[in-house]
Amino acid sequence: MSPSFSLNYRNRDLVLGALAGRVKQPTDIAQSEKALLSVNEGSLYFPIFHRNVEVGGVFIGLGQVIVDAIVETKRGAIGQSREFLWNGSLLMLSEDGNWSPPETIPVKGKHLKEYLLESVDEAQERAQGIFDRFFEHNRDWFDETFIQRRRGWVAQIFDRQRGKCALIASGDRIVLKIADWKVVLSGNKLIEKDGRKKVVVAGRGGTVIRLG
Amino acid sequence: MFGRKKDKEKEREDELRDEMRRLEEQMANLRRRMEKEKDYRREHSPKSPKKLRRAKGVNIDLDDEVFQEEMEEFGRKMGAYGVELGDYIKTVVSDAMRGANRAMRSVFIGPSWDPEGVAARQVPPEEAQRLLAPLASEERIRILYLLADFPRYHQDLMELSGLKPGTLPHHLKQLEDAGYVTQERVRGRYLITIPGRMALKLAEYLHNQMTSGIGEDTG
């Protein structure tokens, strides 16, 4: 597989590598205090490099997202913890030096067919499309928020059932959108919108405002 | 002429004396009724006689119609001796009753007391049971107190509560299902929720009310 799929985005020097293989076993690829992202065995893995350092990857397959959108206040904890299974693709970017690539095994034709792919080239094209679309739509935000501050990790999931989902996590902070569930959480502050229901929590003092 | 007037005065005096005697008898009856009611409540109190504190006052149902009628009758009879005195007594009794009612209601039921009992019926019994049943366990209350200090991991809770590995998850599930406790899926810690803290406050409130002697003789 030639590295001809590499692309440069201005000064970001981020490139998508060639298909590395299938994930050997269920692996937690990113974890913070409040969120955990995992991929199932058999998912296809394409590494992402930043100046020749592996900083993330594109996965085609299945996995799990666990989010603790819970804050502790003086009056007690509020919020909810949720688990989702995703089925589709995932783009994951971590901090430099803080990325542990999953262990992989070789890919055969029958494995590609599980994801309705005919060849490795087609798989690579699909991964490239995910990679391109992500930076096309998030270029400014990604440059200012992620590259310059260099903290936390970001994941974008294209789930067949829930559509596009996004999760940014760093320490005890989270920004996420999974279907109708939107959460901004930082320390003891939580803003949560779940469909029509809204919950706003401000400060450790435990001010709770519920709308809807 | 003078003798007839004297006889009339004597007659009037006798009548008054008889009236006073009847009133005294009525008062004695009333006192006996109060004592009987007091004994009845003491016997039917859910607490053991050893723990029962002596009531400071007499148990009177101030809304009892018979009692009110008797008091009004008492006032009317006293009024026979002079309109001013009767009115005065009626006013004093009526004010005292209103004040006592207010005081008792504020002590036992609180300022938002609902005379029709509508508020009390707004929580369906099955819902009240769902909320209160998980609290009827010494172990679960202990778990809530442990979590009220800090969020804790399963292992910490097991060590601090002294509960066995098979028992602790059962209690935690009950508390979680009722919404008093929540668990972080990523780190695995258990946290007390806002309703959980409210439940502890409720227990504390009831304890304070009971141990201060209020509510023991309310029937």
Burial A161-172 (b: 16+ CB within 10 A, else e): ebeebbbbbbee
Is B186 close to A206, i.e. CB distance below 8 A?
A: no
**Domain assignments of chain A as residue spans, ordered by start:** 14-172
pTM above 0.80, yes or no: no
Contacts (Cβ under 8 Å, ≥6 apart) of B163: B139, B143, B157, B171
> Is residue B6 very low, low, confident or very high in pLDDT (cuts 50, 70, 90)?
confident
Contact between A65 and A35 under an 8 Å Cβ cutoff? The reply is yes
Specify the pLDDT at position B171: 95
> What average pLDDT does chain A have?
82
Specify the pLDDT at position A91: 94
A-B C-beta contacts closer than 8 Å: 52
Specify the pLDDT at position A109: 86
Q: Is the pLDDT of residue A146 over 60?
A: no
ipTM reported for the complex, 2 dp: 0.79
Q: Convert the pLDDT of each residue in A33-73 to its tens digit.
A: 899 999 999 999 999 988 888 889 999 999 999 999 998 88
Q: Which two tokens stand for residue A61?
A: 């397959």
Give the residue-averaged pLDDT of B93-101: 58
Contact between A33 and A161 under an 8 Å Cβ cutoff? The reply is no
Q: Which two tokens stand for residue A205?
A: 């003092």
Q: Is the pLDDT of residue A6 over 80?
A: no
Mutate to test the interface with A, among B191, B198, B200 (most CBs of A within 10 A): B191
Q: Is the pLDDT of residue A105 over 90?
A: yes
Specify the pLDDT at position A11: 41
Q: Convert the pLDDT of each residue in B184-197 to its tens digit.
A: 999 999 999 999 99
Q: Is the pLDDT of residue B58 over 50?
A: no
pLDDT higher at B42 or A73: A73
Q: Which residue of A has its CA nearest to B184?
A: A68
Is A70 close to B191, i.e. CB distance below 8 A?
A: yes
Give the residue-averaged pLDDT of B77-96: 54
Q: Can you list the pairs that A105-111 forms with residues at least 24 positions away whose Cβ atoms lie under 8 Å?
A: A105/A21, A105/A22, A105/A24, A106/A21, A106/A22, A107/A19, A107/A21, A107/A22, A107/A44, A111/A22, A111/A42, A111/A44
> Is residue B107 very low, low, confident or very high in pLDDT (cuts 50, 70, 90)?
very low
Contact between A187 and A174 under an 8 Å Cβ cutoff? The reply is no
Q: Which residues of B touch A82 (CB under 8 A)?
A: 185
Which domains does chain B show, CATH number per domain? 2-118 (no CATH), 125-211 (1.10.10.10)
Q: Which residue of B has its CA nearest to A65?
A: B186
Q: Is the pLDDT of residue B172 over 70?
A: yes
> Is residue A135 very low, low, confident or very high in pLDDT (cuts 50, 70, 90)?
confident
Mutate to test the interface with A, among B186, B189, B202 (most CBs of A within 10 A): B186
B185 closest CB neighbour out of A76, A83, A208:
A83
Rounded percentage of chain B residues whose pLDDT exceeds 70: 59
